[in-house]
Amino acid sequence: MASPGPPARPEHSQPEAWWKRSHETTVLLVAILASFVAFLDASIVNVALPAIDRDLGGGLAVQQWVVGGYLLALGSLILVAGALSDVFGRIRILRLGLMVFGAASLACAAAPAAAALIAARIVQGAGAALLVPASLALITLTFAGRDQHRAIGIWTGWTGTAYIIGPVFGGLLVDTLGWRLVFAVNVLPIAATLWLMARLADPPRQEPRAPIDALGACLAAAGLAGPVFALIEQQRLGWTDPRVLIPLAAGLISLGLFLWWERRVSYPMMPLQIFLVRNFGVGNIATVGIYAGLSLGMFALPVFLQQSAGFSATAAGLAILPMSILSLALAAWFGRLSGRYGPRLFMAAGPLLAGTGFLLMLSVHEPLDFWQHIVPGVLLAGLGLAVTVSPLTAAVLGAIEAERSGIASAVNNAVARIAGLLGIAVAGAITGGLLDYAGFRHAALAAALMLFAGGAVSAVGIRNRP
């Protein structure tokens, strides 16, 4: 009797494998594009700020609000947006976020005055808040194990590159077509993402929907808006002015009430107990220093190069192009290394490298020697960024079970955006309201110290999981 051969493979195995790969590719593309447009817009505006100031007026305070208004809405609402994605589905919330973001982008492009532009930027930030946590949650639910680390590395590389490459693209638009195209161009990637999303659908829900923590969202927004308003407007009004002191006090009280409320409500938008998970809690503390430093440095550098060193918007964007190249080339690799060896070393060394890069920029003086004063620091900061971001994201989200990936992603992204918002809000106080050579040196030193603090927290507190 002949021995039986190997069991026949089911006829449907190859089509199922092809469908799985196709589905994973589509999910990754949608997640990258949805986050890409939000990160791109957060950074593309930086090189347009001098042109906006020339057209609409308002000085450094308006420039801070154009950036800060976006981050304020993003940081305030991203928490409740994470809960919305868990309750109503990632695909549905992504689609809504893209529509809001696109409409607000067109309103920014058509803004007749600074106040209208700032208002449209706030709405745009609200749309971005719906995009980021849902897109990353799609990845964590679709991929597992080392594939998840690799996917997060790819996502981090592209979205991080969008955050850095924005000034290059923005500079070209400002110098050739005007600053309004910086906002209108968002329509193209939004349309492409919506087309890809037609192939995806949320799985049917088995559990009842939890209520949304609306009061928590309002308290968080008020708690952020008050201190940010005070930090930006104090350079014009002074710290003793009631128009500064009252919003500051009201904001701090709102933050206290927010923490109190989140401990009492049955369905909090920011469940405080997840901060008791070591890598999640420590990783978010490190995120504050890392993203505050990066945001301050990347806000100050292109504005300084244009307003004080005489660079065009395109040249200012090209000046930091090496950061985007390093991030794109190395982020996925460092994500894989983090999956193999653990995130602690990378989360400690990366901010140290990036902070040292900003320290090198302290050598700037008139006349500016770009290749000596700026390029070495930009290269080192870009390497530090590539080393840091993917391991940081994987460590924070990997500490929380997949079922809560939406809210975990939202909390970490909220912390990152709020840190960036505060970093930009203190720019006026640090620089004396002017990004000249002395003001930029102060900003670069502050950015370096913030990054060093984030790296120190990681070195002491992060643990490598088995």
Mean pLDDT, residues 309-318 taken together? 86
User: What pLDDT does 8 receive?
Assistant: 47
40-73 residues labelled b (16+ CB within 10 A) or e (exposed): bbbbbbbbbbbbbbeebebebbbbbbbbbbbbbb
| DSSP codes, 193-206 | HHHHHTT--PPPP-
Instruction: Express each pLDDT in 47-76 by its tens digit.
Output: 888 889 888 887 777 888 888 888 888 877
Instruction: Reply yes or no on whether the pLDDT at 34 is more than 80.
Output: yes
Instruction: Reply yes or no on whether the pLDDT at 1 is more than 50.
Output: no
Looking at residue 433, the DSSP 8-state letter turns out to be T
| DSSP codes, 399-422 | TS-GGGHHHHHHHHHHHHHHHHHH
- The CA–CA distances, whole Å, from 339 to 148, 174, 356 equal 9, 40, 26
User: What pLDDT does 3 receive?
Assistant: 45
Instruction: Reply yes or no on whether the pLDDT at 290 is more than 90.
Output: yes
Instruction: Reply yes or no on whether the pLDDT at 207 is more than 70.
Output: no
pTM of the model: 0.77
Instruction: Reply yes or no on whether the pLDDT at 418 is more than 70.
Output: yes
Looking at residue 47, the DSSP 8-state letter turns out to be G
Structure tokens at 400: 């929380």
Instruction: Express each pLDDT in 148-178 by its tens digit.
Output: 777 777 777 677 667 667 777 888 888 888 8
Cβ atoms of 270 and 262 within 8 Å: the answer is: yes
Mean pLDDT score across all residues of the chain: 82
Confidence of residue 11 (pLDDT cuts 50, 70, 90): very low
Instruction: Reply yes or no on whether the pLDDT at 137 is more than 80.
Output: no
Confidence of residue 205 (pLDDT cuts 50, 70, 90): low
User: What pLDDT does 9 receive?
Assistant: 46
Structure tokens at 364: 């700037």
